C-alpha cells in the first residue's frame, strides 16, 4: 500500500488518472454516455496500432502466433501486444467498434461502415523504412489503400452522405517509430544517418508526414489525432544495444525523437491555422510514457527495464518467438516485447488520448474532438 509520502512525488494528473482507472467500469459508462455520434475511425500507422494487416503480407513482422494475444479474448490476431491495441481501448471509450484490418478479404460491406484500420507493422513515413522485414504498407501506401476504400463507400452512399460521413469520422495516425528503429538507427542497412543530421531527419519526416495528412484531407477527412513518438531510447531494444549505462535510457535516441515531436506539434499549429474547416491535435506520447517510467508504482507496474517476452539482453532485445513462454506477471510489466508502451500500459495511453489534459493532447483530446 502506498503511503502519503509516496504520493508527494506523483503529479496531480497522475493521481487523478489512477483513481479513474481503478473505477474502470464507472469510467466506461460515463464516457460512453457523453459520447457524440462518430461515423467511423480510420487508423494509419505501424505495429502499435496494427490489428492484423501484416497477417496478409509476405513479411517477418507478424504477431499472429502465441504468446501474442495471450490476454486477448480472440487470441493472437496480429496485435503486437499481450492483449488489446490502443484502438480497441479508444473505440471502447468512445463507444465505437474497433475497425477491421484493410487487408482482410472479409473487410467489405457493412463491416467497414465503422471505419478501417490501415496500419502495418514495420511500415513508416518513408517508403523504405522497415523494408528488411519484407512487405509492409508504408504510410503513402496506406493513404492509397484509403482511397481504394473510399471507392467502396461511394457505392454505398451518395456524395452528400459520404462527405458528412467523412467529416464526422476521426482519423488516428501513429507513425514515425519505424523511421528511427528500422531505418535511421540501423546504419548497417540504411544510409539516412549518414545523409542527415538528427535534426534534418526529424524535419524530413515531418515534411513527408504533412504531405500524407494533406492527401487524406483532400480526400475528405477532417478530424486528425496525430500521436507523437514515445522515448524510444528507453525501450529494451535500444537499451540492449549498449549505447548507454546499464538500466539507463539512450538519451541520444530520445533527443532524436524530440526533434520529430517538436516539429509535429508545430505542424499541428500550422495546419490548424491554414485549414479552419478541420481539426488537428497532437498526442504527447513522450510525456505520457515518461510519466509511466518515472512513476511505475502509481500504475501498479513493477518491471521497467526488461520485456515480458523476447530474447537477448534485458529479456527483450528482439520480439517474441513463436510459442515462447512470457513472464508470469504480465500486468506488472511496462514492455511486452523489445518494442511494444503491455496491455496495462496501452490502457493508460489510450485513456489519456481520449480524456487527457492539454499537456497530453494539444490543443484538445479525442473526446473533445468528437464533440466538435
pLDDT tens sequence across 121-170? 999 999 999 999 999 999 999 999 999 999 999 999 999 999 999 999 99
Q: Which of 88, 337, 350, 360 is catalytic?
A: 337
Residue 164 lies in a domain: yes
Q: What is residue 312's predicted lDDT score, i.e. its pLDDT?
A: 63
Q: Which three cell numbers stand for residue 350?
A: 489510450
Cβ-defined contacts of 323-329 (< 8 Å, 24+) = 323/65, 323/66, 323/67, 324/67, 325/67, 326/67, 326/70, 326/82, 327/303, 329/302, 329/303
Residue 196 lies in a domain: yes
Is residue 129 part of the annotated active site? The answer reads: no
Residue 241 lies in a domain: yes
Length of the chain: 372
Q: What is residue 35's predicted lDDT score, i.e. its pLDDT?
A: 44
CATH number at residue 251: 3.40.50
C-alpha Rg value of the chain to the nearest Å: 20
Q: Which of 107, 179, 340, 350 is catalytic?
A: 340
Measured N-to-C along each axis, helices 343-355 and 86-94 cross at an angle, to the nearest 10 degrees, of 40
Residue 302 lies in a domain: no
CA proximity to 281, closest of 205, 345, 361: 361
Q: How confident is the model at residue 313 (pLDDT cuts 50, 70, 90)?
A: low
109 phi and psi angles, rounded to 5 deg: 60, -140
Residue 298 lies in a domain: no
Chain mean pLDDT for the chain: 90
Domain membership of residue 44 as a residue range: 37-284+340-370
Which residues fall within 8 angstroms of residue 291, CB to CB, at 6 or more apart? 11, 14
137: DSSP letter: -
pLDDT tens sequence across 237-263? 898 887 878 878 999 999 999 999 999
Q: How confident is the model at residue 317 (pLDDT cuts 50, 70, 90)?
A: low
Residue 211 and residue 215: Cα distance in Å, rounded? 6
pLDDT tens sequence across 82-117? 999 999 999 999 999 999 999 999 999 999 999 999
Q: How many domains does the chain have?
A: 1
Is residue 275 part of the annotated active site? The answer reads: no
Whether residue 26 is predicted with pLDDT greater than 70 in this model: the reply is no
pLDDT tens sequence across 34-61? 445 799 999 999 999 999 999 999 999 9
Residue 65 lies in a domain: yes
Whether residue 28 is predicted with pLDDT greater than 60 in this model: the reply is no
Residue 73 lies in a domain: yes
Residue 155 lies in a domain: yes
Q: What is residue 247's predicted lDDT score, i.e. its pLDDT?
A: 78
For residue 283, list its beta bridge partners.
Answer: 227, 361
Which residues fall within 8 angstroms of residue 90, CB to CB, at 6 or more apart? 41, 172, 350, 353, 354, 366
For the chain, give percent helix, strand, coil, nearest 5.
Answer: 45, 10, 45
Q: Which of 39, 46, 47, 120 is catalytic?
A: 47
Q: What is residue 131's predicted lDDT score, i.e. its pLDDT?
A: 98
Whether residue 9 is predicted with pLDDT greater than 90 in this model: the reply is no
pLDDT tens sequence across 165-180? 999 999 999 999 999 9
Q: What is residue 316's predicted lDDT score, i.e. its pLDDT?
A: 60
Which residues fall within 8 angstroms of residue 52, CB to CB, at 6 or more apart? 64, 77, 78, 79, 100, 101, 103, 104, 117
Count of Cβ atoms closer than 10 Å to residue 21 Cβ: 15
Whether residue 366 is predicted with pLDDT greater than 80 in this model: the reply is yes
Q: Which three cell numbers stand for residue 208?
A: 513527408
Is residue 337 part of the annotated active site? The answer reads: yes
Listing from the earlier edge strand, what are the strands of the sheet with 170-174? 115-117, 41-45, 170-174, 223-227, 279-283, 361-362
Q: Are 183 and 208 in contact (CB under 8 A)?
A: no
Q: What is residue 114's predicted lDDT score, i.e. its pLDDT?
A: 96
Amino acid at each position: 500500500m502506498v503511503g502519503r509520502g509516496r504520493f508527494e512525488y506523483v503529479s496531480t494528473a497522475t493521481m487523478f488518472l489512477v483513481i479513474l482507472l481503478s473505477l474502470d467500469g464507472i469510467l466506461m459508462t460515463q464516457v460512453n454516455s457523453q459520447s457524440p455520434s462518430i461515423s467511423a475511425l480510420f487508423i494509419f500507422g505501424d505495429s502499435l496500432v496494427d490489428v492484423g494487416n501484416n497477417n496478409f503480407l509476405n513479411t517477418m513482422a507478424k504477431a499472429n502466433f502465441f504468446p501474442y494475444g495471450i490476454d486477448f479474448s480472440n487470441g493472437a490476431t496480429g496485435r503486437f501486444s499481450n492483449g488489446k491495441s490502443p484502438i480497441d481501448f479508444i473505440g471502447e471509450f468512445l463507444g465505437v467498434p474497433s475497425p477491421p484490418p484493410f487487408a482482410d478479404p472479409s473487410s467489405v460491406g457493412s463491416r467497414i461502415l465503422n471505419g478501417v484500420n490501415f496500419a502495418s507493422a514495420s511500415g513508416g513515413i518513408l517508403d523504405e523504412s522497415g523494408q528488411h522485414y519484407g512487405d509492409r504498407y508504408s504510410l503513402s501506401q496506406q493513404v492509397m489503400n484509403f482511397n481504394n476504400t473510399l471507392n467502396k463507400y461511394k457505392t454505398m452512399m451518395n456524395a452528400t452522405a459520404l462527405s458528412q460521413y467523412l467529416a464526422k469520422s476521426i482519423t488516428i495516425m501513429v507513425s514515425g517509430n519505424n523511421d528511427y528503429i528500422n531505418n535511421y538507427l540501423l546504419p548497417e542497412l540504411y544510409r539516412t544517418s549518414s545523409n542527415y543530421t538528427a535534426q534534418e531527419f526529424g524535419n524530413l519526416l515531418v515534411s513527408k508526414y504533412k504531405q500524407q495528412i494533406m492527401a487524406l484531407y483532400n480526400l475528405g477527412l477532417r478530424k486528425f489525432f496525430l500521436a507523437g513518438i514515445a522515448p524510444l531510447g528507453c525501450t529494451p531494444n535500444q537499451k540492449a544495444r549498449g549505447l548507454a549505462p546499464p538500466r539507463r535510457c539512450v538519451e541520444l535516441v530520445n533527443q532524436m525523437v524530440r526533434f520529430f515531436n517538436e516539429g509535429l506539434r508545430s505542424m499541428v499549429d500550422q495546419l490548424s491555422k491554414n485549414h479552419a474547416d478541420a481539426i488537428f491535435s497532437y498526442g504527447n506520447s513522450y510525456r505520457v510514457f515518461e510519466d509511466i517510467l518515472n512513476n511505475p508504482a502509481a500504475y501498479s507496474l513493477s518491471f521497467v527495464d526488461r520485456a515480458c517476452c523476447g530474447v537477448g539482453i534485458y529479456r527483450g532485445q528482439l520480439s517474441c518467438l513463436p510459442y515462447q513462454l512470457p513472464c508470469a506477471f504480465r500486468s506488472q510489466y511496462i514492455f511486452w516485447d523489445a518494442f511494444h508502451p503491455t496491455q496495462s500500459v496501452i490502457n493508460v495511453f489510450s485513456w489519456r488520448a481520449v480524456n487527457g489534459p492539454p499537456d497530453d493532447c494539444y490543443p484538445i483530446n479525442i473526446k473533445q474532438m468528437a464533440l466538435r
